[in-house]
Structure 1
């Protein structure tokens, strides 16, 4: 069942996001529905505001008026979330909620996928896919936030840096 869980967006009264999230969490615990409703999230960002008193760091809601819920959509879960005080409905066409796509979830940074890389800066690697498949090179830079790696490969007698996805290269033992 956990594989069927998707992220849905519940629309709330503005300013009620925290109350709605807490109410959903409490209802899930009370009804023993943790297997159907996995997570409730309010996307936040940390911003530095500059005022008369100097810079101040504050957490701000990325999407005011919305709460994200990772759940298996059933009549029971729909009613639980929909009937929480402060929820005005789900984002979707008519009464049918539409789940977020993997790309939308990734771009919001709601779910962080941990990437374990088997190589370090300076290691020799082989490119495993793409236009430069089977080329050998050296890792110059690893950018985990963007999931990119820069590899220097030799092409036409010159060293050329190439930016690839982290999973497009593998370490080569000399």
Structure 2
């Protein structure tokens, strides 16, 4: 299952070692020249409000204790580097015997990253020049416009919107718009 596509995988770690695994894997990727295969390592956390001794405070808690997400291209060498990182006990979705793991679905990763407060770049949006769109985020939220240029490499597009009785052009990210049927 060797692929050139970068996907998200789940590493299983010893509980409490998630941050150590993250830093170990990032430094191993750099020292072993794997930056083109291992991209992001994320320990899913969320801010939780706790009351201790009558004092309310916000603390970071692991969303999935014992697990770390890694965005990587699944090659034999990248797989070897990741699974042999100190503290890693294996990949979720690997059935042993040298079988490569199953990647997470893009929707699963997006949900986790959004829950952590990270922006998720949308690449699946189907827009073309001349399409009508609705702006869902940013300074022009709730306005509608017409696409005049699409840059799929940068995940950006130029949109013509009407403001103060005249047409104005603005550049938006894919994740700032929604298509209009």
RMSD between aligned residues: 2.8
CA distance change for structure 1 residues 167 and 71 in 2, over 3 Å: closer, same or farther? Answer: same
Go from structure 1 to structure 2 and tell me whether the alpha carbon gap of 1:125 and 1:77 turns closer, same or farther (over 3 Å shift): closer
Equivalent in the alignment of 2:90 = 89
Which ranges of structure 2 fall in alignment gaps of 5 or more residues? 123-133, 147-174
Query: Normalized against structure 1, the TM-score is what?
Result: 0.66
Residue 124 (structure 1) shift? 5.8
Q: Does 19-28 or 105-114 show the bigger shift?
A: 105-114
Q: CA deviation at 1:3?
A: 6.5
Paired with 1:9 and 1:120, the residues of 2 have a C-alpha distance of 35
Note closer, same or farther for the CA distance 1:45–1:94 as it changes in structure 2 (3 Å cut).
same
Distance 1:124 1:6, change over 3 A: closer
Q: Which residue of 2 aligns with 1:70?
A: 71
Separation in structure 1 between the aligned mates of residue 179 and residue 4 of structure 2, nearest angstrom: 26
The equivalent of 1:55 in structure 2 is 56
Preserved CA contact (<8 Å) 2:47 2:61: yes
Which residue in 1 is equivalent to 2:155?
none
Q: Distance in 2 between matches of 1:67 and 1:35?
A: 19
- In the superposition, the TM-score normalised over structure 2's length comes to 0.64
Unaligned runs of 5+ in 1: 127-146, 149-165
Superposed CA deviations along residues 20-39 of structure 1, whole A, max 9, x for unmatched, are 11110110110111000011
The answer (yes or no) to whether the contact 1:125–1:169 under 8 Å persists in 2 is no
Tell me the CA shift for residue 168 of structure 1: 2.5
Q: Are 2:119 and 1:112 aligned?
A: yes
